[in-house]
C-alpha cells in the first residue's frame, strides 16, 4: 500500500471544483470518477451545467452543499477564490469555446487547472493560454487521457530508451462511427464551428491522435500535407481528415481520423518504427503493446509484466493480467497532476515520472496541428509548416 502521495505531502486531499460535465455528459462523470479513484482530491464545488438551475440541482445530487453548487463557472471561480476553504484546483469540461475563458480566469485567481481537450477553440486562444500558464507557475493538465495508459507510457519509455533506434515512420489512426449518420446527434454544439472549433473531427479526436504520436515518439510534426472535409451528406463540418506528416529528425508519417465510419466503435491505433524495431498499440486492447525488434520474435508487453519500465509501472494499480481501462488511464493524469500540484504547494520537487501528463504546450501543439491541417487542406494539400517552438 503505497501511501497516497498528496496526503503524504499535504496531510489532506486537494480541493477540487468542476465546471461543466452535468446531466447527459459522458466526460463529466469520467472526470469525477478519475478524480476519486486514487483519492487525491475532494470534490468541494461544482458548476455543472450552462443552465443555472440545472447546475445547482445536479451539484446537490452529487452530495455537495447548496452553497458550493454554483450557477455558472464565473460565479464558481469568484466564490471559491473568496473562501478560505475554497477550491484550489478547477477541472474544466465545458464546450470548447469556454475552455480558454475559464482556464485564464482560474489561473488569474491562482488555481491549478485540469482542462478537457482540445485545450481551446482557436489557435489564438491556445497561444494566449499557453503564455498565461507559463507566467502563472500553476499546474495545467490537459486530459488527453490516452497518454495515461500504462502501455502507452511503456511505448514512450521504450522509445526514450532507444530501444527502437532512431524513429523513422509513424502511423496513427483514430476511427469512430459516432457521426456516420447525418445530423448533429448528441452534443450538437460540436458541429457548430463557433463553439466546437474550426474542424470537428480534428478537435474531437484528431488532437488525441496527434498527442498520442508526440507522446510516444517525442517528435514534433513539422509539416503536413492534408485534406479535411465532410463525407456524410449535409454535414457542414469536418468528419474526416487525412494527412501525410513530416516530423522532426526526418521521420515520416501517416495520419487518418474520422467519426463517420459506420459501425466502428473507437479504433485508435498507432504504429511507430525505428531503425531497430516497431511498436504497435491499439486502444481497444490497451493492455497489450506489441514490440517487434529486428531478429527477435514479436513480444507482447503487458502492464506489470516482464520488462515493464518505471514510467509504465507507476501507471498501473494492479498485478499483470488484470485489465485496466479508460477510467484508470484518465485517473493517471489526475493522479500525476495532483502530485505536481502537491509538490508545488509543499515547495518540494515532484517525482520526474509524475510529470508526463499533457500540459499547455501539448495543448498549444494540438491547436497548431489542427490549424496546419485546415490550412493545408484549403491549399490543395500543399506542404504546410507547423511550428514547434514553445
Residues 78 to 137 in contact with a copy of itself, rule: CB under 8 A: none
Does residue number 229 form part of the binding site for a copy of itself (CB under 8 A)?
A: yes
Residues of span 161-180 touching a copy of itself by CB under 8 A: 164-165, 168-169, 171, 173, 175-178, 180
Which three cell numbers mark 314? 507507476
Q: Is 200 in the site for a copy of itself (CB under 8 A)?
A: no
Nearer to a copy of itself, 101 or 292 (CB): 292
Q: What is the DSSP string of 38-81?
A: TT-EEEEEEE--SSHHHHHHHHHHTT--GGGB-SSHHHHHHHHH
Closest by alpha carbon to 272, among 259, 298, 291, 256? 291
Sheet holding 140-142, edge to edge: 41-47, 14-20, 89-93, 112-115, 140-142
Q: Which is nearer to a copy of itself, 293 or 355 (CB)?
A: 293
Q: Least distance from C-beta 83 to a copy of itself, angstroms?
A: 21
The nearest distance, CB 58 to a copy of itself, in angstroms, is: 6
Closer to a copy of itself by Cβ: residue 132 or 254: 254
Q: Is 353 in the site for a copy of itself (CB under 8 A)?
A: no
| 38-57 positions binding a copy of itself, by CB under 8 A | 38-39, 48
Q: What is the rounded distance in angstroms from the CA atom of residue 40 to the CA atom of residue 52?
A: 28
Decide: is 66 part of the binding site for a copy of itself (CB under 8 A): no
265 binds a copy of itself (CB under 8 A): yes
> By C-beta, is 69 or 126 nearer to a copy of itself?
69
CB of 351 to a copy of itself, least distance (A): 18
Residues 323-352 that bind a copy of itself (CB under 8 A): 323-328
Site of grid cell 480566469: 105
Query: How far out from the chain centre does Cα 273 lie?
Result: 24
Rounded-to-integer distance, Cα 67 and Cα 45, Å: 8
The whole-angstrom separation of Cα 238 and Cα 224 is: 17
Binding residue for a copy of itself, selected from 217, 283, 332, 359, defined by CB under 8 A: 283
Residue 304 CB neighbour total at 10 angstroms: 17
Q: Which stretch binds a copy of itself (CB under 8 A): 80-88, 130-138, 266-274, 358-366?
A: 266-274
Rule CB under 8 A: say whether 378 interacts with a copy of itself. Answer: no
* Chosen residue from 123, 141, 261, 373 binding a copy of itself by CB under 8 A: 261
Query: Could you tell me the smallest distance in angstroms from the CB atom of residue 387 to a copy of itself?
Result: 19
Length of the chain: 390
Should residue 277 be labelled a site residue for a copy of itself when binding is judged by CB under 8 A?
Answer: yes
Please name the residues in contact with 277: beta carbons below 8 A apart, sequence gap of 6 or more: 163, 164, 165, 291, 292, 293, 294, 296
For a copy of itself, which stretch binds (CB under 8 A), given 193-201, 277-285, 349-357, 365-373? 277-285
Mark 287-316 with x for binding to a copy of itself (rule: CB under 8 A) and - for no binding.
x---xxxxxxxxxxxx--xxx---------
Query: CB under 8 Å, gap of 24 or more: what pairs does 344-353 form?
Result: 344/112, 344/137, 344/138, 344/139, 345/9, 345/10, 345/88, 346/9, 346/10, 348/9, 351/5, 353/310, 353/311, 353/314
What x-and-dash track marks residues 11-30 binding a copy of itself by CB under 8 A? -xx-------xxxxxx-xxx
Amino acid at each position: 500500500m503505497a501511501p497516497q502521495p498528496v496526503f503524504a505531502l499535504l496531510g489532506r486531499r486537494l480541493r477540487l471544483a468542476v465546471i461543466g460535465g452535468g446531466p447527459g455528459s459522458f466526460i463529466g462523470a469520467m472526470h469525477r470518477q478519475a478524480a476519486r479513484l486514487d483519492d487525491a482530491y475532494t470534490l468541494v464545488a461544482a458548476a455543472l451545467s450552462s443552465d443555472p438551475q440545472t447546475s445547482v440541482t445536479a451539484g446537490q445530487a452529487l452530495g455537495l452543499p447548496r452553497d458550493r453548487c454554483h450557477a455558472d463557472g464565473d460565479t464558481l471561480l469568484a466564490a471559491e477564490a473568496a473562501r478560505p476553504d475554497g477550491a484550489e484546483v478547477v477541472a474544466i469540461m465545458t464546450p470548447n469555446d469556454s475552455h480558454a475563458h475559464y482556464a485564464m480566469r482560474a489561473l488569474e485567481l491562482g488555481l491549478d487547472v485540469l482542462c478537457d481537450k482540445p485545450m481551446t477553440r482557436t489557435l489564438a486562444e491556445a497561444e494566449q493560454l499557453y503564455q498565461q500558464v507559463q507566467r502563472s507557475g500553476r499546474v495545467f493538465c490537459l486530459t488527453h487521457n490516452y497518454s495515461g495508459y500504462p502501455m502507452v507510457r511503456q511505448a514512450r519509455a521504450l522509445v526514450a530508451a532507444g530501444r527502437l533506434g532512431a524513429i523513422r515512420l509513424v502511423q496513427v489512426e483514430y476511427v469512430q462511427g459516432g457521426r456516420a449518420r447525418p445530423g448533429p446527434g448528441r452534443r450538437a454544439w460540436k458541429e457548430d464551428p463557433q463553439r466546437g472549433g474550426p474542424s470537428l473531427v480534428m478537435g474531437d479526436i484528431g488532437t488525441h491522435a496527434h498527442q498520442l504520436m508526440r507522446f510516444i515518439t517525442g517528435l514534433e510534426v513539422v509539416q503536413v500535407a492534408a485534406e479535411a472535409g465532410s463525407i456524410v451528406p449535409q454535414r457542414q463540418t469536418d468528419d474526416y481528415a487525412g494527412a501525410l506528416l513530416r516530423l522532426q529528425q526526418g521521420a515520416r508519417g501517416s495520419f487518418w481520423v474520422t467519426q463517420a465510419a459506420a459501425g466502428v466503435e473507437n479504433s485508435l491505433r498507432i504504429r511507430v518504427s525505428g531503425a531497430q524495431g516497431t511498436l504497435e498499440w491499439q486502444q481497444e486492447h490497451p493492455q497489450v503493446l506489441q514490440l517487434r525488434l529486428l531478429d527477435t520474435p514479436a513480444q507482447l508487453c503487458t502492464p506489470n509484466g516482464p520488462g515493464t519500465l518505471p514510467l509504465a509501472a507507476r501507471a498501473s494499480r494492479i498485478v499483470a493480467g488484470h485489465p485496466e481501462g479508460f477510467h484508470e488511464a484518465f485517473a493517471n493524469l489526475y493522479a500525476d497532476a495532483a502530485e505536481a500540484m502537491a509538490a508545488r504547494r509543499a515547495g518540494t520537487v515532484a517525482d520526474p515520472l509524475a510529470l508526463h501528463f499533457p500540459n499547455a504546450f501539448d495543448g498549444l501543439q494540438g491547436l497548431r496541428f489542427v490549424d496546419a491541417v485546415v490550412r493545408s487542406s484549403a491549399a490543395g494539400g500543399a506542404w504546410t509548416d507547423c511550428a514547434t517552438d514553445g
